[in-house]
């Protein structure tokens, strides 16, 4: 049987001893802090019901920007390898022409994802944080820990407004 671990929020097979294979904690050990929490994957540009993502309270109109940024800047492949420098030096004018302009370059790549999620004034005032579990930039989703009431309302909302 597959269950969601209340500690790491991964979906894992239930073992006889109750130990989660991902975080090594007991899936049966549920405390007040994590009793009402669950994980949800949110897609960029997704609409949400007016329930707080953190506490599950109804009638929330404010949206909080949840964003993730990852800088993948790296050195050019030519700069990493000594043989390209040697070839450029030995090749003289031809080598410098072929590889010279690539030797100092950096390849700049960055990824970002932004989702506006509903958060109530009380959670904003108390500076409660939204726990991010995983970001998948390729499919534009972010997996976060949410209140179970929000998750239930999101499922109802998604079924109601599905295309």
Q: Within the chain, what is the greatest distance between any pair of CA atoms?
A: 71
Please give the DSSP secondary-structure letter assigned to residue 25.
Answer: S
Q: Determine the Cα–Cα distance for residues 116 and 64; give it in Å rounded to an integer.
A: 5
Q: What would the pLDDT profile of 22-49 be if each residue is shown by its tens digit?
A: 889 998 888 888 889 999 999 988 889 9
Confidence of residue 152 (pLDDT cuts 50, 70, 90): very high
Q: Radius of gyration (Cα) for the chain, nearest Å?
A: 24
Question: 28 and 1: one domain?
Answer: yes
Q: Do 37 and 147 touch, CB atoms closer than 8 A?
A: yes
**What per-residue confidence (pLDDT) applies to 83?**
56
Q: Do 58 and 161 touch, CB atoms closer than 8 A?
A: no
Question: 137 and 84: one domain?
Answer: no
Number of domains composing the chain: 3
Question: 25 and 79: one domain?
Answer: no
**What per-residue confidence (pLDDT) applies to 108?**
65
């Amino acid at each position: 049987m597959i269950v969601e671990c209340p500690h790491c929020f991964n979906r894992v097979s239930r073992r006889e001893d109750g130990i989660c294979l991902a975080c090594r904690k007991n899936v049966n050990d549920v405390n007040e802090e994590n009793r009402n929490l669950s994980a949800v994957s949110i897609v960029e540009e997704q609409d949400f019901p007016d329930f707080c993502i953190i506490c599950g309270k109804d009638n929330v109109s404010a949206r909080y920007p949840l964003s993730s940024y990852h800088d993948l800047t790296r050195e050019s492949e030519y700069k990493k390898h000594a043989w390209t420098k040697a070839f450029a030096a030995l090749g003289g004018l031809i080598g410098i022409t072929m590889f010279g302009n690539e030797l100092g370059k950096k390849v700049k790549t960055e990824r970002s994802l932004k989702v506006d999620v509903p958060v109530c004034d009380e959670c904003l005032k108390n500076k409660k944080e939204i726990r991010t579990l995983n970001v998948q930039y390729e499919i534009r989703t972010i997996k976060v820990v949410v209140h179970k009431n929000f998750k239930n309302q999101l499922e109802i909302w998604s079924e109601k407004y599905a295309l």
